[in-house]
Chains A and B, each alone.
Chain A
């Protein structure tokens, strides 16, 4: 692997995976805060 390949890997994987994990953590914290006793995030029609 060349330095350019490692750099591309670090930037792309860091952005996509890092972004996903960060967003997931934020979403789960928000969800926990909102749920407040609810069961499930969808309503049975």
Chain B
């Protein structure tokens, strides 16, 4: 179960987002709020998800209805919808990893011109093909059931962790690698007074650990009754951030060793630019670079695949909760993912739009989990679902405060984001719904989704039998 959960949490965001965000937000100083929010956002929310999943034995829609009442099923619907829309474009990311792993095997990258392969591939029909390959692999694993997912995690996660460790060790042994370590760990304490650092650290934790996505909840529905909620949530949070830290060391040591003069440009090139344009260039300049480049893209593919599997499982679990057979649910979800993933595969602006809209939407998901627990009763939830049977480590009253903090953090973050967006562009420009990034596009897509969920709330809240309590030891 731990490997399955870790597979869910460890994704491409650990490898391509964390190093970039840490490097551009105060280095060592960023790591302080990053650790604080591991304990003040990720772990408390993961405890909620584990508790709800194990307690309700249903996906997020059924779990919200079961715990806080039928009128609140739409909140669970939002959690599922948000993660499922992310899944649609995440299939494209998985496809990119497939393509670049292949390109590294056949020696197609880095090529003479940096970014030439990316320019020819991204947004082309080939991106649709590789998306379909990535999606098909994910669907195949989920079609084998929860034991299939567990088998995949048992294979992929140890290999992924080993690959990241090998690449990190290789990176720190490169000449000049200490400049990367110094860049990552030298603290600029004055940066801690900048609210942006704290907000970036919170966003990174929300993205990184998968807390509030509903994915841990979906997996927890299958957990044994005696599975320890507390230890699972802590291992997941700490394990995920351990991989992020390794990835940060790996990427920044490589950048500062190979191209120290261009480090600012490389780190500032965005997720795609850093990973698919610059990393091949950097590996090419390294002794044994082609071998390590292959390992890097294999690790990236494994990270993407294990996360994609969890997103497919969440959608499948939700449809199964509606009374649809598992095989039919997978076919329906696969068909929808293929059709709705095509626009993101063919258009990078559309991809960016979806990434932004549903990525920020995760803040609402976390907020809804927090509200649900507050409504149910924080102390009651902790006693009944967190410190439940099988939990050897009781969670104290600090968690009650942590849940209130989660709600406050989500509200502050959303308010800050709104004020920044309106302040930077003006209200009229910000409300234009047809731009790649605007308040208008967020409100339009969120508004339609929320209106539909509220409209169909009664149908959503219809109960189906829960997943049976897991077997106990003989």
Residue of B nearest to A1 (CB): B182
Would you call A23 and B471 a contact (CB within 8 A)? no
Instruction: Decide if A42 touches B222 in the complex (CB within 8 Å).
Output: yes
Q: Is B224 touching A41 in the complex (CB atoms < 8 A)?
A: yes
Measured CA separation A38–B38 after assembly (Å)? 33
B383–chain A nearest beta-carbon distance, Å: 21
Of B96-104, B142-150, B403-411, the segment with at least 4 beta carbons within 8 Å of chain A is B142-150
| Chain B nearest Cβ from A13, distance in angstroms | 6
B181 close to A5 (CB less than 8 A): yes
Contact, CB under 8 Å: A16 / B245 = yes
With the chains together, A5 CA to B181 CA distance in Å? 8
Q: Are A27 and B28 interface neighbours, CB within 8 A? A: no
Size of the chain B interface, CB-CB below 8 angstroms:
41
Q: With an 8 A cutoff between CB atoms, is B452 at the interface?
A: no
Could you tell me if A12 and B245 are in contact, using CB atoms closer than 8 angstroms? yes
Do B181 and A43 touch across chains, with their CB atoms under 8 A apart? Answer: no
CB distance from B402 to the nearest CB of A (A): 17
Which one of B185, B186, B470 lies within 8 Å of A12 (CB-CB)?
B185
* B231 engages A23 (CB within 8 Å): yes
Known: A15-B35, A16-B238. A42 touches B231 (CB 8 A): no
The answer to whether B241 and A16 touch across the interface, beta carbons within 8 angstroms, is: yes
> Given the complex, which residues of A lie within 8 Å of B178, measured CB to CB?
1
Residues of B within 8 A of A38 (CB): 224, 471, 473-474
**B468 interfacial contact with A, CB 8 Å:** yes
B2 at the interface (CB under 8 A from A): yes
Chain B positions within 8 Å of A17 at CB level: 242, 245
Please, how many angstroms separate the alpha-carbon atoms of A37 and B185 in the complex? 46
Do the beta carbons of B242 and A40 come within 8 Å of each other? no
- Tell me which residues across on chain A come within 8 A of B185, comparing CB atoms: 1, 5-6, 8-9, 12
Instruction: Tell me, rounded to whole Å, the shortest Cβ–Cβ distance linking B192 to chain A.
Output: 12
Asked if A27 and B228 make an inter-chain contact with CB atoms under 8 angstroms apart, the answer reads yes
Q: Do B242 and A26 have beta carbons less than 8 Å apart?
A: no
Contact among A1, A16, A35, A41 for B181, CB-based, below 8 A? A1
Closest A residue by C-beta to B470: A43
| A4, B186: Cα distance in complex, Å | 6
Q: Which residues of B contact A2 (CB under 8 A)?
A: 182, 186
Q: Tell me the smallest distance from the CB of A21 to a CB of chain B, in Å.
A: 8
Distance in angstroms from A39 CB to nearest chain B CB is 10
Q: Which of B1-56 contact A (CB under 8 A)?
A: 1-2, 4, 28, 31-32, 35, 38
The residue that B470 contacts in the complex, of A6, A8, A42, with Cβ under 8 A, is A42
Kindly report which residue of chain A lies nearest to residue B235, judged by CB atoms.
Answer: A23
Residues of A within 8 A of B245 (CB): 12-13, 16-17
**B4 proximity list for chain A (CB < 8 A):** 42
Q: Are B238 and A23 in contact (CB under 8 A)?
A: yes
What sequence of 0s and 1s flags, for each residue 172-187 of chain B, a beta carbon within 8 Å of any chain A beta carbon? 0000001001100111
Which residue in B182, B238, B471 is a CB contact (below 8 Å) of A20? B238
Residues of B near A13 (CB, < 8 A) are 245
Q: Let me know if B399 is at the binding interface, CB within 8 A.
A: no
B181 touching A44, Cβ below 8 Å: no
Q: Is B446 an interface residue (CB 8 A)?
A: no
Give bound CA distance, A12 to B151, whole Å: 32
Q: Is B295 an interface residue (CB 8 A)?
A: no
3 closest residue pairs by CB, A with B = A20-B238, A8-B28, A41-B1
A sample of 20 more A-B contacts (CB under 8 A), given A4-B187, A43-B222, is A1-B178, A12-B31, A12-B35, A13-B245, A16-B35, A16-B238, A19-B234, A20-B239, A20-B241, A23-B238, A23-B239, A27-B2, A34-B473, A36-B474, A38-B473, A42-B470, A43-B224, A43-B471, A44-B145, A45-B146
- A positions within 8 Å CB-CB of B: 1-2, 4-6, 8-9, 12-13, 15-17, 19-20, 23-24, 26-27, 30-31, 34-38, 40-45
Q: List 23 A-B contacts (CB under 8 A).
A: A1-B181, A2-B186, A5-B181, A5-B187, A12-B28, A16-B35, A16-B241, A16-B245, A23-B235, A23-B238, A23-B239, A26-B231, A27-B231, A27-B235, A34-B473, A36-B473, A38-B474, A41-B2, A42-B146, A42-B222, A45-B146, A45-B222, A45-B468
Q: Contact residues of B with A, CB < 8 Å?
A: 1-2, 4, 28, 31-32, 35, 38, 145-147, 150, 178, 181-182, 185-187, 222-224, 226-228, 231-232, 234-235, 238-239, 241-242, 245, 390, 392, 467-468, 470-471, 473-474
